[in-house]
Amino acid sequence: MPSYKAPVDDFKFILNDFLKVLDHSDLPGFDALDSELIDQILEGGAKFFEEVWAPLNLPGDEQGCTLENGIVHTPDGFKDAFHQAAEGGWNALSVPEAFGGAGLPGILSSCISEMGNSANQSLAMYGGLTGAAMMSLMYLGTDFQKKVIVPKLVSGEWTGTMNLTEPHCGTDLKLMNTKAVPQEDGTYRISGTKIFISGGDHDMTDNIIHMVIAKIPNSEGKLENNLGTVNFFMVPKFLVNEDGTPGARNGVTVGSIEKKMGIKGNATCVLNYDNAVAFKVPEDKPEAANEQSGEKKSSASGMAGMFLMMNGARMGVGMQGYALAEVACQNATIYANDRLQGRSLSGPKNPDGPADPIIVYPDVRRMLMMARSFAEGARALHMWLSFTGATAVKLETQEEKTAVGEITNLLTPVIKGYLTDMGFTSTNAAMQCFGGHGFIREHGMEQFVRDSRINQIYEGANGVQALDLVGRKLFANGMVGTNAYYGLIDKEIADAKDQNGLKGMSESLATGLSHLRAATSWVAENALQDREQAGAASYDFMTMFGTVSLGFMWLKMMAVAQSQLDAGAGNAEFLKRKIAHGNFWAQKMLPDTASLLEKIKTGGDVLMELEASSF
Amino acid sequence: MPSYKAPVDDFKFILNDFLKVLDHSDLPGFDALDSELIDQILEGGAKFFEEVWAPLNLPGDEQGCTLENGIVHTPDGFKDAFHQAAEGGWNALSVPEAFGGAGLPGILSSCISEMGNSANQSLAMYGGLTGAAMMSLMYLGTDFQKKVIVPKLVSGEWTGTMNLTEPHCGTDLKLMNTKAVPQEDGTYRISGTKIFISGGDHDMTDNIIHMVIAKIPNSEGKLENNLGTVNFFMVPKFLVNEDGTPGARNGVTVGSIEKKMGIKGNATCVLNYDNAVAFKVPEDKPEAANEQSGEKKSSASGMAGMFLMMNGARMGVGMQGYALAEVACQNATIYANDRLQGRSLSGPKNPDGPADPIIVYPDVRRMLMMARSFAEGARALHMWLSFTGATAVKLETQEEKTAVGEITNLLTPVIKGYLTDMGFTSTNAAMQCFGGHGFIREHGMEQFVRDSRINQIYEGANGVQALDLVGRKLFANGMVGTNAYYGLIDKEIADAKDQNGLKGMSESLATGLSHLRAATSWVAENALQDREQAGAASYDFMTMFGTVSLGFMWLKMMAVAQSQLDAGAGNAEFLKRKIAHGNFWAQKMLPDTASLLEKIKTGGDVLMELEASSF
């Protein structure tokens, strides 16, 4: 059975030393923070997720979910653990007080969410998607939805889901067949089949709020192959009475639950909608309701709710990538210190024992340091971006504020794509440290790998993220975001120039950034005439962008750590460990940018020349 | 349900055009070959494995193996399919006729083995390990073993296993606790626990021949922490009567079967040995039998049988790496041609349909071409090495013959390590092409990934292979093998210089080889003073070595294909497809050597500086 220990020291380092969140008490939410509260929250969360959620992870995988007589049963203990989290308020730390939350900064929720995902990704997903549904209703819902439904999601009395995929379409939403027919009373009736719905049904709560996209038919009642007709709806499992109690059963039922590679504790459902009562989000404006149904389709905000939910979900999936790398790396580290096998290449390190622990081997250390430097670098990136967004209101010029928004857009596909790729790679390396024991269920390592694998797929497969990065984000709005982001890295390198101990990393990062700029120019020059070239470069580009971004974070963290060491402040062992992992990233990860650039420059012709039938 | 189509055209290309096996009729085994026989064998094997073995793969994974009242049950259909293969002689093509085989060259068995592994790795493993056990007895067994036992393994009446690992030790065999106590009659009695025994027990055959390593105690009856006391034994599940029928039950029982990530159709057993009757292989010489038991321990050939078996198994595992990449890539190619989603970046390719098939996307093609160029390059390398070994007898000088042996030693860890790493990466990329559908059991893609994962672990985890390559093989015997191998690549590049269409590949390969030589020099210079440096470089070195080796194979294949195209011979579509995949390797894989070299040159200090307790 694997163990989990929340990385409280690292969260404190990031919050207090790296981001210095306590310096921002002029911002709402941050004003309530002090060092003690941060400690209390982190330590309380750690205790809860370590002791209550983590022990259910392996048995939840073994038992899985079952469907009997139309009812989905979650693994033993999940329901109780879910409600304990809700009662502890762990899912509502950063929800505004008006909706029943604690109103603390989102950056604190990031720490708690990560703990949940490390401890038990399958269980965390029920709440994670609830959060996404909640957010879309909080921003775009009616008064009733905000006052009555959102608080039920905040309190954990109900959960939420996200319904996009259909059997024949995922990425290409304009192909969808789910139909939303407008009714006289302003509601809609939805019919169709949605698949791969995480937490799509379960036995944990009284009601489930499905957020669904569907097409509004044209005036002849037909569906068009047109993204403009796709809209966003709320479909409760049980209709909600005015007093907030669940009412009549709505027309949404579970067709089946999927047998899948991992996240088996989460019920992935096929949901059949049959004339289910649906509420458009945002609701039609009164004047629009008087128009012909076919004309509602061009509502520009038709998918706004979906994008809100989707971007939040993408950030959340990126976090799942490093959350699993963290817990897998922890277990591999324990095993590597424990497992005796052979002798160190430089002479016995455990001369009184029959053999040395395998952590004496450079290649075992390589795997552990890759996983750890990734997990800590990724955590820093995720939290830095969230914090940068939260503090942008204090920036002086509108230009600066815009740049932060654009950087967020730019980094979202990288966080989803690169962090889940490296999350899988790291989790897999941690499993490799166990040798044959990694392949056996009881150690839990192979489960981390199977669970981690979904993160590269859902909420837009990573190839789609790469294309989003290169095709949409990189050159958006005159490259405001891209240039601003590269400029931040330049500045960090320049600032590090004279600081003790940062030379290796800053040089390595400068080289990486020069490769990234060269790749950016190459794509700019070649993709204009031939869009296939952008597609061909996209994946290598995303990998390079992610590698440089984590280098950027490591340089920032090393600068903080080195300053503290120079000043004799902080925990020297912790700080030296930070610096060692930063140097690992500099020496063993950043050099990848050279080859990635070379590959990008060979272009896409080799990919496109064969006929599809020749593959 | 996934499908499988044996790559018969590629086998024919390799046998007939690339290796030109028909030009070697002066060699035993090869003399029986003609073009028709090759076709018959390949097509017969293809039909059998496609139709009989492949359909059992997914249900076998779902059902798994069970242990009831001490009896291991294999999945439905496995027993019958195993015996059909034996009756068809598919497992005995290259076994000498004296032992009941067909006496054909091993290179033909390679094709058939690959088909078995692609179709159903779990089922193939029962026969694969039988082959390894068979080989050790064929070379080192007594007359009785050769005449009575080997033919039972050849005919498939019985199976064989390989017993190395114990709960607390795998790689470090000198820690083992399994004891083999010599008896008056020249036999031994083995007691101890072996784990992770593939096909360790099952209901398919009447008897199982376990090949076991165990320690002979010293004259005080104690086990020493000394590899020299480890010896190799045959332990039949049922003792074998003189007429070859199974006799009394021996003292070996199944403790449990492992729950594991993949290869669930293969029974991975914990075997408990309790005074089991064992026969040393090779048997003690009469004079040795008169000595004190403690003095037998220094027998130099004590582990010869194990190494024979192990090296064969490592080559076999490397094959499993590309066998799964092949079948996974086939299924991904079908899906990518079938799944409609979005539109090509350069305008609709399926304008009459609602969307284009996803094979129009450069990044989907990147994944497919990586998997395919890997699978075909790996197949070529495996078969080229086997063929080079088989034809070495015809070389003129002893020096040349020695070089071939050394090249085989050098490439064995690369074939085990790199081919299984890339096999996993390729299988995983093929799964990614399916998006969410790849994560669902019914498509079978996630099973290929789970099955493939074991290949990086068993028969020596890949980190151990990397250390074997760099620490033992690379500089062995004055680098005869290494220099000879690099020289072969030089010659291929020189030969390609003036050939039409090979410029890109030969330049790319020349650069890759120069990086490999630079890495070799770096290790030579740095590892002498500090062996940790060799360990730190080892994994990147193995990856670089494998990447260059597949480039070498691709250049050879491209040269053949281009000559045929220039002459208007052969199937032009097939040949152009070869050249395109070779160019993919040149442009998208070989550039990795630049970064790998750079990483190697940063050395191992960053890995070794932290205390183990600081990880």
- DSSP string computed for B40-56: HHHHHHHHHIIIIIGGG
Q: b/e string for B216-248 if b means 16 or more Cβ within 10 A?
A: bbbeeeebbeeeebbbbbbbbbbbbeeebebee
Residue A205 in this model has a pLDDT that exceeds 90:
yes
Q: Which pLDDT score, from 0 to 100, does residue A479 have?
A: 97
Q: Which pLDDT score, from 0 to 100, does residue B178 have?
A: 97
- Using alpha carbons, select from B366, B512, B338, B496 the residue that is nearest to residue B432: B366
Name the percent of chain A lying above pLDDT 70: 97
Residue B299 in this model has a pLDDT that exceeds 60:
no
Residue B290: pLDDT band with limits 50, 70, 90: very low
What are the C-alpha distances in Å from A271 to residues A99, A201, A258? 29, 9, 11
Asked if residue B330 lies in contact with residue B3, where contact means CB atoms within 8 angstroms, the answer is yes
Tell me the average pLDDT across B517-532: 94
pTM of the predicted model as reported, rounded to 2 decimal places: 0.97
DSSP state of B218: -
- Look up residue B266 and give its amino acid: N
Q: What backbone phi and psi angles, to 5 degrees, belong to B160?
A: -130, 160
Query: In sequence order, what E strands does B109-263 have?
Result: 158-163, 179-182, 188-198, 207-215, 230-236, 238-240, 246-249, 252-257
DSSP-based helix, strand, coil % in chain B, nearest 5: 60, 10, 25
Q: What backbone phi and psi angles, to 5 degrees, belong to B315?
A: -60, -40
Residue B12 in this model has a pLDDT that exceeds 60:
yes
Asked if residue B33 lies in contact with residue B22, where contact means CB atoms within 8 angstroms, the answer is yes
Distance CA A118, CA A447 (A): 12
Asked if residue A61 lies in contact with residue A122, where contact means CB atoms within 8 angstroms, the answer is yes
Query: What are residue A158's DSSP bridge partners?
Result: A207
* Minimum distance, in Å, between the CA of residue B448 and any CA atom of chain A: 11
* Chain A residue at shortest CA distance from B167: A437
* Minimum distance, in Å, between the CA of residue A243 and any CA atom of chain B: 39
Asked if residue A70 lies in contact with residue A253, where contact means CB atoms within 8 angstroms, the answer is yes
CB pairs under 8 A between A and B: 257
- Residue A272's Cβ-count burial label (10 Å; 0-12, 13-18, 19+) is middle
Q: Which pLDDT score, from 0 to 100, does residue B301 have?
A: 63
Neighboring chain B residues of A341 at a CB cutoff of 8 Å? 169-172, 175
Distance CA B226, CA A539 (A): 50
Residue B285: pLDDT band with limits 50, 70, 90: confident
* Chain B residue at shortest CA distance from A597: B591
3-state class (DSSP) for residue A599:
helix
> Across chain B, what does the average pLDDT equal?
95
Option in A225, A587, A615 nearest B354 (CB): A225
Residues B357, A171: C-beta atoms closer than 8 Å: no
Residues B432, A606: C-beta atoms closer than 8 Å: no
Q: Which pLDDT score, from 0 to 100, does residue B289 have?
A: 47
Residue B296 in this model has a pLDDT that exceeds 80:
no
Query: In sequence order, what E strands does B95-237 have?
Result: 158-163, 179-182, 188-198, 207-215, 230-236
Q: Which pLDDT score, from 0 to 100, does residue A287 have?
A: 58
Residue A379 in this model has a pLDDT that exceeds 70:
yes
Asked if residue A57 lies in contact with residue A71, where contact means CB atoms within 8 angstroms, the answer is no
Option in B260, B357, B457 nearest A612 (CB): B357
Q: Which pLDDT score, from 0 to 100, does residue A306 have?
A: 86
Asked if residue B326 lies in contact with residue B118, where contact means CB atoms within 8 angstroms, the answer is yes
Distance CA A77, CA A265 (A): 11
Residue A421 in this model has a pLDDT that exceeds 60:
yes
Query: Judging by DSSP bridges, how do beta strands B230-236 and B207-215 pair with one another?
Result: antiparallel
* Residue B143: partners with Cβ closer than 8 Å, 6 or more residues away: none
Q: Which pLDDT score, from 0 to 100, does residue B274 have?
A: 98
Asked if residue B603 lies in contact with residue A362, where contact means CB atoms within 8 angstroms, the answer is no
- Establish how many alpha carbons lie within 13 A of residue A510's alpha carbon, considering only the half-sphere containing its beta carbon: 14
* Chain B residue at shortest CA distance from A592: B595
Q: What backbone phi and psi angles, to 5 degrees, belong to B90?
A: -65, -25
Cis peptide before B282 (omega within 30 of 0): yes
* Chain B residue at shortest CA distance from A258: B440
Residues A261, B577: C-beta atoms closer than 8 Å: no
Sign for the CA dihedral angle at A447, A449, A452, A454 comes to negative
Q: Which pLDDT score, from 0 to 100, does residue B529 have?
A: 85
Token output for B587: 């442009």
> Across chain A, what does the average pLDDT equal?
95
Tell me the average pLDDT across B520-537: 94
Among A61, A346, A503, A595, pick the best mutation site for testing chain B contact (most B Cβ within 10 A). A595
3-state class (DSSP) for residue A292:
coil
Distance CA A215, CA B62 (A): 38
Residue B291 in this model has a pLDDT that exceeds 70:
no
Residue B300 in this model has a pLDDT that exceeds 80:
no
Asked if residue A238 lies in contact with residue A277, where contact means CB atoms within 8 angstroms, the answer is no
- Using alpha carbons, select from B485, B505, B491 the residue that is nearest to residue B549: B485
Distance CA B415, CA B549 (A): 10
Q: Which pLDDT score, from 0 to 100, does residue A304 have?
A: 83
- Using alpha carbons, select from A496, A510, A507, A511 the residue that is nearest to residue A561: A496
Neighboring chain B residues of A607 at a CB cutoff of 8 Å? 362, 365-366, 369, 584
Q: b/e string for A572-584 if b means 16 or more Cβ within 10 A?
A: eeebbbbbbbbbb
Residue A298 in this model has a pLDDT that exceeds 80:
no
| H/E stretch holding A239 | strand A238-240
- Residue B34's Cβ-count burial label (10 Å; 0-12, 13-18, 19+) is exposed
Distance CA A122, CA A74 (A): 10
Residue A611 in this model has a pLDDT that exceeds 80:
yes
- Establish how many alpha carbons lie within 13 A of residue B406's alpha carbon, considering only the half-sphere containing its beta carbon: 21
Residue ranges per structural domain of chain A = 8-64+76-143, 159-284, 303-460, 476-606
Architecture of the domain delimited by A303-460: Up-down Bundle (1.20)
- Using alpha carbons, select from B368, B364, B367, B371 the residue that is nearest to residue B340: B364
Q: Which CATH number fits domain A159-284: 2.40.110.20, 3.40.30.10, 3.20.20.80, 3.40.50.300?
A: 2.40.110.20
Residues B368, A536: C-beta atoms closer than 8 Å: no
A459 has catalytic annotation: yes
- Look up residue A337 and give its amino acid: N
Q: Which pLDDT score, from 0 to 100, does residue B293 have?
A: 47
* Minimum distance, in Å, between the CA of residue B430 and any CA atom of chain A: 12
Q: Which pLDDT score, from 0 to 100, does residue A293 have?
A: 47
Tell me the average pLDDT across B7-17: 98
Residues B172, A259: C-beta atoms closer than 8 Å: no
Residue A308 in this model has a pLDDT that exceeds 90:
no
Does ipTM surpass 0.95 in this model? yes
Distance CA A220, CA A205 (A): 40
Residues B440, A259: C-beta atoms closer than 8 Å: yes
Q: Which pLDDT score, from 0 to 100, does residue B215 have?
A: 96
Q: Which pLDDT score, from 0 to 100, does residue B164 have?
A: 95
> Which of A277-291, A486-500, B450-464, B597-611 is the least confident region?
A277-291
Asked if residue B431 lies in contact with residue B325, where contact means CB atoms within 8 angstroms, the answer is no
Q: Which CATH code is given to the segment(s) B8-64+76-143?
A: 1.10.540.10
* Minimum distance, in Å, between the CA of residue B261 and any CA atom of chain A: 6
Residues A580, B361: C-beta atoms closer than 8 Å: no
